[in-house]
Amino acid sequence: MTKLALATRKRSPLHFLYKNGTVLAIFGVVAYFSVTLDRFLTYENFSDILRSISIVTLVAIGITFSLIVNGFDLSVGSTVSLATIASAASLVLYRQEILVTLLVPMLLGVAVGLLNSLLIVKLKLPDLLATLATMYAINGIQLTYTKGFSIYNDMPLPDGGTAPGKFIPSFLFIGQGEIAGVPFPVLLMLVVVIATHLFLTYTKPGRLFYMTGENQEAARLVGIPVNRYRTYAYVISGFFAALGGIVLASRIGTGQVSAGASFLMDGVAAAYIGFSVFGAGKPNVIGTLFGSILIGVLLNGLTMMNVPYYAQDIVKGGILVGALALSHIHKK
C-alpha cells in the first residue's frame, strides 16, 4: 500500500469509526441511559456496573491471552463455575480458611489450562473442539460433585445434618468489600489490567506471546519456544477464569452450579471488541477493558429498562457480530 493510499485510508470515516467507535459507543450509551433513566447516573449504580465488569474483565483477559497466540478458549465459563463451586465447598463443606479457599480454585484453573494445552499443543486437536470438550467435561464434574445443588451457608446435607462451615468475612470482602469507597473487585481488576498491559507491552516474554500468534512457523525458526508459549497462554486463561470465579463466589455468597456460563459470551465479546479500541488491530488488555465497560453499561441500562435477559443476549450477539465485521472490513 502506497503512502498516499495509507494516508487516505487513515482519513476515511471507516478508519475513524474502527479506531474510536468503542469509546464513542460507551459515551453514547451512557448519555442515552442517563437521559432516559433517573437512577442510572448514580454512584450506587456505577458501583454495581464496575463490580459486574470486574468479573467479566478477568475472564476476558484470559481469553485475550489465548487469542494472542492465535488460539481460543471456550472452557472459561465452565472454569468460572468450577472455581465458584470449589471456593464454596472449601468454606462451607470443609471449613477451610482463606488461603486454602483461594489456592484450591486457582490450582483447578491452572489444571484446566494444562489439560487444554495437552489436547491442543501435544495432541494437535483444534482449539475450538478441545476446549469445547473440556467445557462439557468440567460441567459434568461439577454437576456430579454437587448433584445439581448450590452450596450455601447452613445447607442441608444428605445425612440429615447441616453444613459445618460458612462463608467467612475475609472471603466475602473480595467481592463485596470496599477500600476508600472503591469496590475491592474493581481495584483488583485495575491492578490486573495495568500489570498485564505492562507485561505484554514492555517485556520480552510479552512480545514473544504476540510473535507466537502472528506467525508460529516464523517464530519457531527464530528460536521462540512456540509450544511453551501456547501452553502458557491456556494456563493463564484458566487461572484468570478461576480468579473470576473466586470473585463471583465472594460477591454472591454461594456456590452456584453453572454460574459462570454467561461469562463465556461476555468475555469473548469484550476481547473481540478490544481489537478495534484505538486502532490496535490485535488482542490487547486495554481494549478488552473498554469492551467490558461497553457490555457492562449496556446490560445494566437494559436491565433497568426491564428488558428480558434473553433479549439481552440478542444485543450481546449483535455487538459481537458488529465488532467482528468492523475488524474484518478494516483488514480488507
Residues 11-30, mean pLDDT to the nearest whole number: 77
- Here the cell at position 267 is 468475555
User: What are the beta bridge partners of residue 183?
Assistant: 178
Q: How far apart are CA 120 and CA 269, in angstroms?
A: 23
Q: What is the pLDDT of residue 183?
A: 95
Q: How far apart are CA 236 and CA 241, in angstroms?
A: 9
pLDDT tens, residue by residue, 253-293: 999 988 999 899 899 999 988 887 766 678 999 999 999 99
Residue 6 lies in a domain: no
Residue 10 lies in a domain: no
Residue 2 lies in a domain: no
Q: First vs last Cα of the chain: how many Å apart?
A: 12
- Here the cell at position 161 is 445434618
- Number of Cβ within 10 Å of residue 106's Cβ equals 19
CATH of the domain at 137: 1.10.3470
Residues 145-166, mean pLDDT to the nearest whole number: 92
Range(s) of the domain holding residue 198: 18-28+39-331
Q: Which residue has the higher pLDDT, 168 or 332?
A: 168
* CA-closest candidate to residue 331, choices 270, 282, 277, 291: 282
Q: What is the pLDDT of residue 6?
A: 44
DSSP for 167-190 reads --HHHHHHHH-EETTEEHHHHHHH
Residue 11 lies in a domain: no
Task: Give the confidence band of 127 by pLDDT, cuts at 50, 70, 90.
Answer: very high
Number of domains in the chain: 1
* CA-closest candidate to residue 253, choices 158, 314, 166: 166
